[in-house]
Chain A
Amino acid sequence: MVEKRGDLLSPAVIIGLIVVIASFAIILSLLFRLDLIGQSDDEICRLSVLSRASVWESTQGLLPLKCSTKKICLGLGDECSQFVGEENVKTIKLPKGNDASSTSKAARMIEKTSAESMYNCWDLMGQGKLDLFSGSDASDLTSTILDVGSGLFGVSGAKPVCFICSRIALSEELEKRRDILSKVDMARYLATEKPTPESKKTYLQLFTDEQVRSYPGEIVELVNSGSETVSDEIAYVFMQVLAKGEPLDEAVRTGTNTGILVGGSLFLGPVGRFTNFLGLGVLFKVGTTAVVSGLAGGFAYYQTGKNQDFAVQHCGQFASGETENGKLRKGCSIVKPVDYNDVNTINQLCYRIEGNL
């Protein structure tokens, strides 16, 4: 009778107890292991991006972006002093030879690293279509962005949030190799190469929702008129800014009419121009003009004399991030390279930076 009622010392109870405790132990260990060991940094990041995108804006702040800045050193066998004292630095050794084949191969590796960094950043961050920063730091961020007053990118200043996806540094030895750096041609690489051999689309097609297969003539001309601005370290920055509402509809419509801004788009231009067009509250028709006219002052970070300042952006309604009213927010996302040593530009572009250093 005692056994039937489940006495404390019955074998069934003891087995049940062991099973339950063992289950707890396994689940607990899985919870922590999955988080820390079982997944790559990219998977953890992607998971945190998706987690953020799938919760209400008011709870987003509880889920920080678990993404870490990738540190890539491009060298000829030497280290990058820029990363002294920093963890998880990936070093890519380029061919050192002076012959044409080696220098071309080295240049292609630089292009590949840059294109991959840009695409990886764009892809990890949900191709700019996810609302990731509405709820973070709600005390100052949400209120300041949404209370801009004059609507989209108002005069008093939208406050964009950034994540620095990657930092790419050139080693001291590589920095001196103009024969290699002068062969870097991001425009050609993006238009002709694919992220993987299996991929059917080029980077350019992926960035532009397949709309653009080659650059318009005016862009080619502007690419070739790069400035002499150089840097030994660039950062691919993901930036997102929210809009209050209706002005963006107008902006997207206006942009669509230009045939350039539909869904994702790729453009060239220095940060200053970009932030200007954000800051002045102009519509995209004007913004697009500013971007194009600003090309000549671009950022030739690989000393190529060509403008390498490609950025990819998405503006419109986000696919996630419902507000309490059940509406989806609108805004713009962009991935672009910036000179990491130019703190003014980074401060101009980003009001706040999230993620792990």
Chain B
Amino acid sequence: MALTRLSQDPFRVTIERILSPTEALVNGRPMILAGTNNYLGLTFDPQCIEAAVQAVREQGTGTTGSRMANGSFGGHLALEQELAEFFGRRWCSVFSTGYLANLGVIAALTGPGDVILIDADCHASIYDGCRMSGAEVIRFRHNDTADLHKRLRRLGKRCANTLIIVEGLYSMLGDRAALAEIAAAKREYGAYLLVDEAHSLGVLGERGRGLSEEAGVEDSVDFIVGTFSKSLGATGGFCVSDHPEVDLARYVSRPYIFTASPCPSVIASTRVALHKLQAEPELRVRLWNNARRLYDGLKGLGFSLGPEPSPIIAARFGEKEETIVFWNGLLDQGVYVNMILPPAAPDGGSLLRCSVSAAHTSEQVDRICEAFASVKMALSL
């Protein structure tokens, strides 16, 4: 197999020791982490850590079961209340991971006889949730609102039973959904709209509520799904909405019922991180300064990037083998990024995807650019 002949297995990299939100020891040497989705850099925040430690001491290491069977801890309910307030919505349900949030929400909201219209570049968790729902699943071309209109027109009266699903920021190229136009289409045809703000929570919008806020269409978005595992630095997921179905989903959602609820330390650090996301807008400023610095730097080096600066910055490569060799070259230079190979990347190509953090220093961002330049020169690309 080309992968293992050319490289160590990129899907089995061992982080021997994590040193900070942006540094680790890999293969015995220090590495700048540029592929973590740790957008606000809160994983080592002293207050988040202290809250988690205190929760472990007071409430133990785990809940050892489902909320349906074992009951909800006070922290679960408090976090749901705080998320609902943050988004200005009536209802919130918390799930054990972001993946489970999409599975649980999509499969609970839709069923046989319904239609789900998804952007072709949606995350695997959305595809899996669609499959689990039993609804009819139709893809529209990535961010192509004309194609979305066409498919809504074809559905006719069935639009009333149609859920459109898009993402705030797409995880492969870091591009935004054309949400103002998509929300307008949703209103025109009378469908429902779910936005997965996994990568845009804490990243977009004046208050960090995501693309729905930035695009000024929160009123048209029926359901927002998000995760704790990126900007909030922990693990878990949620859905907020004004529709009571999100609360009722607890009774029918297998991914909510048949798994252990988030442990107290995760809930505790997430609550502090959510507070910081709101109280420290300077984190977002630092994140975007770093994002623009890296985007401009890599663009200046001649790499083909996504359409706009974003904390997700992916360099496109044509050949898989070239991508693998380049990724290894970056590791040798002390920079860790994500390698995306076909068919995971859009258009059948390969990507080396960076994500920047508010915790990166300008010097680290420059080092990432230097590593890309150095490997590019060594490979005569």
Q: Do A and B bind each other?
A: no
On B, residues with C-beta under 8 Å from A are none
